[in-house]
Amino acid sequence: MQNRMSERQRNQLPIFASRDKFIEQLQRDKILLVIAEANSGKSTQLPQYAAECFADGLVVCVLSQPFPVMNLARRAADEYDGTLEGNSVGYQISHSNQFKNGCISGKNIMFMTDTALIYEFKKDPNLSRIHTLIIDDIHERLLNIDIVMGIAKLLLAKRTNDFFVVISSSNIDPVPFLKFFDCPLNRPLVIKNQINPVNVKDIPPPNDCPDHKFIELHVIPTFNNLYQKYTGHILIFLSSQREIERALQLFNSKLPKGCVMLSLHGSLSIEEQNKILELDNQQQNQRMIVFCTNITEISCAINKFQVVIDTGLIRQLHWDNQQHFNILETVHISRFSANQSRYIAGYKNQGH
């Protein structure tokens, strides 16, 4: 514990200054809303603070996507007791055989996908082994996350003495959430953060650029222009897995020496997703060019990403009132999602 606190003081994460206040408010109110700006350390630090506060109970942190769950579990395990996952910290991303090694148990802290938590609730409607439930990145407002919020509210009423809930986000209106949990007078814990300078430039595609030539005529020239100006990894957001596969083919013949291309989307196996983390940690002389969908913006703190190229497009399901079924459309991302790119680029160094 003493070594852990000394390391936190050296790292100077913005959230560390609010550790005691977080513990005090959580013990007093039982339901705590934390609004912490990106890169403040909330996703790895809050579960650790809760585990130190309630030493006898299990702390579970819920997110929506498998990659952030594994990434955060690995980082939290190293920060908490200097080991790999499987001792004090673990993760669970699935209850089926879809993912190999989908569950690594931890004694004190577990990171889970929303699907895994819902499955736990089906097996045990009291979630008896969980003492503190942290619902992270609540602004995503996905269906399963809303279900997890409903579970949390039920258990707060049912387990009045031994169940605590933390909901966290980088930017939300706290009032509707506090009203939902019947505690409109509770005060959220707000944590500010200063990111490194990030040069933001809006580069529209050429006027005569057809959709099927978007990558060749817009993404590749933008990449070539920025590659020589920065030395860190490059992250390129594309709208879908299909676009990523096409980009990999097009970039393959134009890739500079010393670079490795990787993709990141929801259909990849754990082993394939882990390649990104392994390269980031081990390969000092290789630059990564990562093509990904928006799943990574939830919690993708790769240490050396310095350039983010965001096409601003995403494939989403929309209900068609005339045809009475869901259709998959390419739409523009929200302004909030676009702003998240700045935090990724400015995580460690000045970025673009």
CATH number of the domain that 186 lies in?
Answer: 3.40.50.300
229 and 318 belong to one structural domain: yes
Residue 202, domain member (yes or no): no
141 and 223 belong to one structural domain: no
Instruction: Tell me how far apart the alpha carbons of residues 249 and 259 are, in angstroms, rounded to a whole number.
Output: 15
Residue 55, domain member (yes or no): yes
Residue 163, domain member (yes or no): yes
Number of domains composing the chain: 2
List the end-to-end C-alpha distance of the chain, in Å, as a whole number. 38
Three-state secondary-structure class, residue 65: coil
DSSP run (H or E) holding 23: helix 19-29
> Residue 236 is encoded by which pair of tokens?
């390129």
Instruction: Tell me how far apart the alpha carbons of residues 149 and 135 are, in angstroms, rounded to a whole number.
Output: 8
223 and 324 belong to one structural domain: yes
Residue 266, domain member (yes or no): yes
> Residue 76 is encoded by which pair of tokens?
């939290």
DSSP run (H or E) holding 10: helix 2-11
Domain boundary among 191, 220, 239: 191
162 and 226 belong to one structural domain: no
Task: Please write the tens of the pLDDT for every residue from 246-265.
Answer: 999 888 877 788 788 888 87
153 and 269 belong to one structural domain: no
What is residue 303's DSSP assignment? T
- What integer best gives the mean pLDDT of the chain? 84
165 and 25 belong to one structural domain: yes
> Residue 346 is encoded by which pair of tokens?
């400015």
Task: Please write the tens of the pLDDT for every residue from 60-117.
Answer: 999 988 888 888 898 899 999 888 888 999 999 876 544 556 788 999 999 999 999 9
Q: Is the pLDDT of residue 208 over 70?
A: yes
- Is the distance from CB of 244 to CB of 268 less than 8 angstroms? no
In 3D, which of 299, 302, 307 has the Cα closest to residue 279?
Answer: 302
149 and 220 belong to one structural domain: no
Distance of CA 226 to the CA centre of its chain: 26
Strand partners, 347: none
> Residue 19 is encoded by which pair of tokens?
């550790």
- Is the distance from CB of 308 to CB of 254 less than 8 angstroms? no
Residue 322, domain member (yes or no): yes
pTM flag (> 0.85): no
Mean pLDDT computed over 336-342: 74
Residue 197, domain member (yes or no): no
> 186 lies in which domain range?
2-191
169 and 215 belong to one structural domain: no
Q: Return the pLDDT at 280.
A: 66
Q: How many residues does the chain have?
A: 352
C-alpha torsion sign, points 223, 225, 228, 230: negative
